[in-house]
Amino acid sequence: METQAWPRRGERHDGMRIPSGCAVAGVGSTGGRPISGDTVVCMVCAMPERANGLGAGYAAYGIYPDLADCYAFHLMYEDAGARASVEELLQAGFQVEVAEPIPTRPRVLVGAPMLWRYFLRVPERVARSWEESHAEPGGDGPPGEDDYVVRTVMDINTGIPGAFVFSSGRNMGVFKAVGHPEAVADFFMLDQYRGHSWLGHSRFPTNTPGWWGGAHPFSLLDWSVVHNGELSSYGTNRRYVESFGYRCTLLTDTEVIVYLVDLLVRRHGLPLQAACRILTPPFWRDLDGMGEEAAQLRTARVIYGGALLNGPFTTILGHSRGLVGLTDRLMLRPLVAATRGDLFYLASEEAAIRAVCSNPGRVWSPPAGEPVAVEVGLSQVAVSAEVARS
C-alpha cells in the first residue's frame, strides 16, 4: 500500500470555504488483513479545504482482538464525579474486565475531557433478568444483550451529567475530538492501531456547535456513521426513532442515521441492503418501471416512511462486517469509490483515495441513492492491538 505524509495545514485551501462541507473517508480489506490507522488519516488530511478545526474523528474495526467478545465502551467525562457515577452503574450491571484511560499523547489538543475505556461483559444473570422484565407481547422479539447495552448507553448519556458514551461496540472503537484531523489522530495515537476497516471524518459544522461529543463518527454498538451534509428530514427521523425508545441527545442530525440502521437491521432483522433502500428509496415516479420490486418498495415506503432521509448528504456506514457508502437520491454531496487488490476505498474526493493508492484498479462514482458496500472476511482477521492494553 502506498502512503505519503499528511498535507501541511493551510497548504492547499488558502482559507477558502468549500460549501459541500465535510470530508468523509473509509477503507477496508475484503480479506480482513490489518490496515494501519495512518491510511485513513492520510485520506482525510488530503482534503484540508473541508476542515476548519472544529471536529474530526475516526472509527476502527478489529483493534481489540484479545478482548473481542467484550463490549468496548469509550467514554468522555467532564469531571471525576461523572466518572464515579458511571463506574458505579457499570459495576452493578456488567462484568468489568478492564477499566483504564484511553492512551493519548498529552498536550497535542487543548481542553480534552477525561477519556476512559471499559471492556465489559453482560453477566448471564443480568441478561436473563433483563429479558424477563422487558419482554413485550408482539414486540420486535425477545430483548437480548445488545438491547441491554443500548439502554445503558442511553441511560448514561441522558441521566448522568458530564458523562458521554461515544463508542460501545465489540472489537471496535471511535476516537474523536475538537481539532484538525491530523491533530486528533496524533492525540489518540492512531498510528499504533491496526484494524480491518476504518472510517474518517473532518467536520465542518453547519447547524450545530463544535464540541468533543459532537464530532463524527457517531456510533452505537457495532454501527458507526460519518456524514457530509444535513438532513432536512431530521425532525421526522428523530420522532420516528424516539418512538422506538432511542433518545437523541447529541445536538446533530447525524445521530439519527446510526439509530435508524440499528432499528432496521438489528431490531427488525432486515438485510442491510434493504435497510439502505428504506433510507434512500426510489422516487415514486420511478417505481412503475421497476417490475416486481416496485410492490416491495411501495410497501416499505409506507411502513417505514419515518425512516426516509431527505436533504443533501453522503454517509459512510461502518459495521463489524464491512463498509457501506450511501448518498441522497440526487447525489447533492459527492462520493467516490475505488478498489485495489483486496482494498476498498470510499471518500468525498478521488484525491483522498489517490493519496494512499496512486494507481487504483477501478474508480467510480456510485449512482445517487444506491448503496455501495464491501464485506470483510472476518475469518481471516489477524490484527494487532499495540495500544489495546497500554
Tally of structural domains, the chain: 1
Q: Is residue 347 included in any domain, yes or no? A: yes
What confidence score (pLDDT) does residue 176 get?
A: 96
C-alpha 83/C-alpha 118 separation (Å) is 12
Domain annotation covers residue 8: no
Q: Which amino acid is at 162?
A: G
Residue 322 lies in a domain: yes
CATH of the domain at 148: 3.60.20.10
Mean pLDDT over the full length of the chain: 86
> Which of residues 378 and 192 earns the better pLDDT score?
192
- 99: in domain: yes
pTM value is 0.88
- Asked if residues 325 and 335 have their Cβ atoms less than 8 Å apart, the reply is yes
Tell whether 10 is covered by a domain. Answer: no
Residue 123's identity, in one-letter code, is: P
Residue given cell 473541508 in the structure block: 50
**pLDDT tens digit sequence for 212-221:** 988 999 999 9
Residue 383 has pLDDT above 70, yes or no: no
Element (H, E) at 165: strand 163-167
* 3 domain-assigned: no
- Report the first-to-last Cα separation within the chain, whole angstroms: 27
pLDDT digits (tens, 9 = 90+) for 233-291: 999 999 999 999 999 887 788 899 999 999 999 999 999 999 999 999 988 888 877 77
Of 182, 203, 249, 208, nearest to 22 (Cα)? 203
Residue 357 annotated to the active site: no
Alpha-helical (H) ranges within the chain are 37-45, 80-93, 124-134, 145-159, 181-187, 234-242, 255-261, 272-279, 293-303, 350-354
Q: What is the pLDDT of residues 126-177, one digit of tens each?
A: 777 777 676 655 455 556 899 999 999 999 999 999 999 999 999 999 999 9
Residue 228 lies in a domain: yes
Q: Which three cell numbers stand for residue 50?
A: 473541508
Share of the chain above pLDDT 90, in %: 67
- The three cell numbers of residue 338 are 475505488
pLDDT tops 80 at residue 358: yes
Range of the domain at 348: 23-380
**pLDDT at residue 297 in the model:** 85
Residue 390 domain flag: no
pLDDT of residue 300: 87
